């Protein structure tokens, strides 16, 4: 059976730039069906429209499905997996995931307003965990938006395997062309 990879970009992100393009090409070469949607209104991400979009895309998911999220895309993946519409997936990979943000991430009033619902709306981690076989969370030592302290939270709440990369920033698509460890983890 053909494997499917769904890649969800982050806040103000673009799935047609940087490591998203590289990963899509690499997975296609390896026989995956790759889905890289542009999420609704990326500059002002909102929980309901983003989760609804992922629900539509992932409606045929199964244990041959891998979901990869970046930053707020990770939040979207978790929030989808806790819904009643979620179907159990084989693997989830989180790149620069967060449950809390650094002060630098929300230094402007507009950013605070956008981030607030994502930070304050609880996630049912038991439901999330029940809808995935495994998860891996990849962090960077110098991410200006996501504190490395989030790693412990992902390990404790979801049992995620934690990978910490040195000096990779926030893995932004404009600055990061590929994430070799991500592809390696997908292929395990």
CATH code, domain with 154: 3.40.50.1820
Residue 63 has a pLDDT of 94
52 neighbors 62 (Cβ within 8 angstroms): no
123 neighbors 78 (Cβ within 8 angstroms): yes
Which tens digits make up the pLDDT trace of 48-67? Answer: 999 999 999 999 999 999 99
174 neighbors 14 (Cβ within 8 angstroms): no
Token digits for 38? 């542009």
Q: Is 134 helix (H, G, I), strand (E, B) or coil?
A: strand
Token digits for 169? 């920033």
**Whole-prediction pTM:** 0.96
Residues of the chain where predicted confidence (pLDDT) is lower than 70? none
Q: Which residues pair with 67 in a beta bridge?
A: 6, 92
Residue 103 has a pLDDT of 84
Q: How many domains does the chain have?
A: 1
Residue 173 has a pLDDT of 77
Residue 69 has a pLDDT of 98
Residue 39 has a pLDDT of 98
Residue 167 has a pLDDT of 94
Residue 17 has a pLDDT of 93
- Find the domain containing 113 and state its range: 4-187
Residue 127 has a pLDDT of 97
Residue 4 has a pLDDT of 98
């Amino acid at each position: 059976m053909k494997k499917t990879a769904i890649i969800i970009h982050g806040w103000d992100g673009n799935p047609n730039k940087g490591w998203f393009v590289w990963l899509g090409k690499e997975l296609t070469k390896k026989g995956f069906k790759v889905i890289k949607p542009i999420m609704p209104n990326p500059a002002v991400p909102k929980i309901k429209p983003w989760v609804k979009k992922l629900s539509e895309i992932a409606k045929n998911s199964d244990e041959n499905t891998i979901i990869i999220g970046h930053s707020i895309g990770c939040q979207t993946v978790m929030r989808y997996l806790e819904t009643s519409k979620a179907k159990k997936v084989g693997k989830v990979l989180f790149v620069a995931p967060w449950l809390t943000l650094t002060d630098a991430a929300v230094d402007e009033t507009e950013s605070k307003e956008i981030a607030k619902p994502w930070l304050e709306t609880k996630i049912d981690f038991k439901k999330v965990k029940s809808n995935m076989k495994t998860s891996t969370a990849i962090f960077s030592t110098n991410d200006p938006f996501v504190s490395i302290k989030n790693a412990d939270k992902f390990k404790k709440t979801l049992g995620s395997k934690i990978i910490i990369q040195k000096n990779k920033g926030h893995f932004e698509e404009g600055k990061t062309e590929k994430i070799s460890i991500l592809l390696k983890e997908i292929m395990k």
